[in-house]
Chain A
């Protein structure tokens, strides 16, 4: 006789005095796997809450203007939006995969799962592309690989200078191939060294006014890697240019005058030297029997004296010229640097693809949080993809629908984390 089964699925107690068979009853109206995955997801919520909470503390706790905006660290908004779209699509496809598995459409389930895997890989690809562009711009969590400085100070200038020297020597070795492009770049590097680095170092070293020093350093940092529109720096540079042009106007005629003086002195010297040589050879032709010449005449002695004084004068003029040049050359280099670099919208670093140190306040802290949070998220994506790859070869029928559901829950959670990361990292 078949045992009667009541609505709860328990067998009816029989009336023959036999022991009632024990029946398993779940405490929760869901499968143990689902309980486990939800429990796991709550720990995951806490994990990402801690990371995002840390980010909130650092991001919103940074004083006004000391946290890089997305544009300043080269975060591309539409790439983030695209990645959001990709993850939303993958959430959609994993839902369809689960629905298909539930209704025993094995081929469809596999197809949707493959689509989800591919979308996950697209997400990782875009993420990898973004990481790569961070690395090529020197955006690392910390020194020595990081090229970001918090402040425009002398440490920044000296680090910039040593990187630049390294780059120049690399280029010099490289330009053995001597393409025109390499030569232009090298010229620009020399100009950066003389017109920006050396000028700023000198300016800061010689100025007593702290505001002046600060302005010079900030202007330098701005020319290397501008963070925002800076009318104050533009005004400072324009004022400096006017000042230097006046100085140049004053010094150029002076230099010209001294050079013409030197040229005339040299002419005079050569004339005198010719005359003296003539006199000497005349004298030496009057050799007597003992092989002695007559002593130098009055005229010759006088000419020699004149030559000596002319030489002395020329020496002094050369000295004066070099003094004038010492003042004039840096000014001219600075003016050249002004005309070459002031109009660059994105600074010399970006324009010449230089990879030299730059000033981004809190840049290293930003990189810490960025790589930590997105890295952990990417790790979750990778784990999800691995699970998908393990599931794809299996027969995804009704029996495996529960597994599919749990994997789907995990994948949706990864999507939700990204939904919060996208505005926080790309749009704030």
Chain B
């Protein structure tokens, strides 16, 4: 079929694009797996930010190429810009106001939370109590 040749070459070049995108997606998945088990997680906020950024990149690759938005006309902006705005606002509003609120909890509020895993005070066995303060789950 002579007439199909340009279409076929376009299809094969598009297929190459898809395969490259697929490769990037696999590499990025591996990367976020690596980040989770690396020293970056010593600073957990940094590790989380890196992993979420990787996820955003992956999502953008899928949306742009697998969902063909890259090749779509300008209606794609009507769709993507409000969504991006909502996504950014969600993070900007939730994380500082609600996600990090417990960083500034007073002691009385901490007592209502489930038991903290780290306990700073180590009482000696069978010694008179050195900490008469009966605070529960408190941090120093």
Contact = CB atoms under 8 A, between A and B. Distances in A.
Interface string A52-65: 01001101111111
Contacts of B79: 38, 42
A150 interface: yes
A59 B95 CA distance: 10
B119 A232 contact: yes
Which of B19, B62, B129 counts the most A-chain CB atoms under 10 A from its CB?
B62
A368 to B, nearest CB: 13
A235 B122 CA distance: 9
Interface in B66-108: 66-68, 72-73, 75, 79, 83, 86-87, 90-91, 94-95, 98-102, 105
Interface stretch (A209-217, A248-256, A265-273, A379-387): A209-217
Interface string A404-428: 0100110011011001101100111
Contacts of B35: 427
B73 A419 contact: no
Which of B105, B125, B131 counts the most A-chain CB atoms under 10 A from its CB?
B125
A171 interface: no
A253 to B, nearest CB: 21
A243 B124 CA distance: 11
Which of A63, A412, A420 counts the most B-chain CB atoms under 10 A from its CB?
A63
Nearest to A217: B115
B59 A65 contact: no
B83 A42 contact: yes
Interface residues of A, number: 67
A321 to B, nearest CB: 25
B6 interface: no
B42 to A, nearest CB: 14
Interface in A173-221: 209-212, 214-215, 218
Secondary structure call for the A interface: helix
B101 A361 contact: no
B115 A150 contact: yes
B36 A419 contact: no
Interface in A356-387: 359, 361-362
A81 B28 CA distance: 11
B46 interface: no
Nearest to B48: A428
B66 A91 contact: yes
B81 to A, nearest CB: 12
A358 B25 CA distance: 38
A150 B116 CA distance: 9
A359 B113 CA distance: 14
A99 B48 contact: no
A103 B48 contact: no
B126 A243 contact: yes
B25 to A, nearest CB: 5
A60 B116 contact: no
Given A92-B22, A232-B122, A65 B136 contact: no
B91 to A, nearest CB: 8
Nearest to A419: B58
Contact of A427 (B33, B68, B98): B33
Contact of B33 (A29, A81, A152, A240): A81
B117 A415 contact: no
Given A60-B95, A81-B29, A235-B122, A361 B63 contact: no
Contacts of B86: 45-46, 49
Nearest to B50: A423
Given A60-B95, A416-B63, A419-B59, A211 B121 contact: yes
Nearest to A228: B117
Nearest to A231: B122
A272 B8 CA distance: 116
B94 A88 contact: no
A131 interface: no
Contact of A88 (B25, B99, B117, B126): B25
Which 9 A-B pairs rank lowest in CB-CB distance, beginning with the nearest? Answer: A60-B99, A427-B36, A150-B114, A361-B114, A239-B125, A65-B117, A423-B51, A210-B134, A151-B115
Given A38-B79, A151-B115, A152-B115, 9 more contacts: A49-B86, A56-B95, A65-B116, A81-B33, A91-B22, A150-B114, A211-B134, A419-B58, A423-B32
17 contacts: A29-B73, A29-B75, A66-B113, A66-B115, A92-B18, A96-B18, A151-B115, A152-B115, A228-B117, A239-B125, A243-B126, A361-B116, A408-B66, A413-B67, A419-B62, A420-B52, A420-B59
